[in-house]
Chain A
Amino acid sequence: MFGRSKAHPAAKIDISSLLIKVDESREQIATLRAERQTVLHAPRPLAEILAALDDWLDDAATNSVDRLRLGQLTRRDMPAGIQLPFSVDRQTAAIDASAACNVLLGLVIAVARPTLRQIIEGQLADMVAARPGLTDAEQAARLAELDRQILTTELTEEHCIRALEAAGVPILRRPDAAPMALLATDGALPAL
């Protein structure tokens, strides 16, 4: 089971080199995994964020004007002013001002949208400057490439471990070793 792979010609086993290669592989795996986490948590590109923000600003302004129920101002039996939507909890008598706050925010957007947007865009640009944004497609492609590199390195690590085991030097595998590497045929492992 731990004999020389038929796919790789017999070679003098250099224990020391194999041990070094195991350590190097493990460092590489740790580095790639850290990079993967960075990519996983990468922000969206600024352009995408602002496009989504513009859609939200449109909806917030429109909805707030709708909530004012301005049609009531045309009625002779209704007060002439604008009323914000407050509600009262019937059980606790607590006043819920959340709807009113949302309407106010929508009116601020309607009145001062360019200034507000400029402020938000400036803040977001500073935030994403240090962390490049990725589109969904870019993120997926980068993650797939990193996963491929991680697996290749794990397969190399596994080859070294099996070679060491065959030479009578048992090496503990990482408990989080990839199952594909653990189960790979000897021939599927990259040449050392």
Chain B
Amino acid sequence: MTSHDFSLDQPTERLSVDGIDLAIASRLTALARIRDTHRAATRAADDRMHHARLAAEDVRRRAREGLERHGRNDPQALRQAEELEGQAREWDKGRAAAQAEAEACAASWRDASENLKTAIAFARDASAILPLMLREDR
């Protein structure tokens, strides 16, 4: 029975470059985790922004339908429309806040991605074997 030597696929744990010890596998994994955290935060903020936009649209639609159903001169319909518009404006604020958060998270994600990309390129140049999950990253 042939035994397969998979040692060539084992990620490089330690490397020394110019007298500095590098923890290739564990540090690349840590940097990837940081990148993924920022990516998840960006997507969560994007989702909140999207949800807030849909909610504002829905509330405004209900306001329009109420006015169309009861007439624009109906005091109760007008009151309800104003109340719904107030809710819509709250959703607009939420959307704006989520958008600002998404932009900040996206910037963090970009920076973290750049850190990981630089580290991977360095590790490759030093002939290190990357952790399996990062071998397609460039």
Contacts and interface: CB of A to CB of B under 8 A. Distances in A.
Contacts of B5: none
B108 A172 contact: yes
A155 B118 CA distance: 16
A187 interface: yes
B26 A1 contact: yes
Nearest to B123: A183
Interface string A110-145: 000000000000000000000000000000000000
A172 B111 contact: yes
A182 B17 contact: no
Contact of A179 (B14, B21, B23, B122): B122
A76 interface: no
A90 interface: no
A183 B115 contact: no
Interface stretch (B27-35, B71-79, B95-103): B27-35
Contact of B22 (A1, A172, A177, A184): A184
Given A177-B115, A180-B20, A188-B22, A1 B122 contact: no
B110 A175 contact: yes
A177 B110 CA distance: 13
Contacts of A2: 30
Contact of A184 (B23, B28, B110, B115): B23
Given A1-B26, A1-B30, A183 B119 contact: yes
Interface string A167-181: 000101111110110
Contacts of B18: 180
B108 A183 contact: no
A177 B116 CA distance: 10
A147 to B, nearest CB: 10
A48 B110 CA distance: 46
Contacts of A155: 20
A184 B21 contact: yes
A182 B26 contact: no
A155 B114 CA distance: 18
Contacts of B108: 172
A144 to B, nearest CB: 11
A91 interface: no
- Shortest 6 CB-CB contacts between residues of A and residues of B: A179-B122, A175-B114, A175-B111, A183-B22, A185-B23, A188-B21
Interface of A: 1-2, 155, 170, 172-177, 179-180, 182-188
Given A1-B26, A183-B22, A184-B22, 16 more contacts: A172-B111, A173-B112, A175-B110, A175-B114, A175-B115, A180-B18, A183-B23, A183-B24, A183-B119, A184-B20, A184-B21, A184-B23, A185-B23, A186-B23, A188-B21, A188-B22
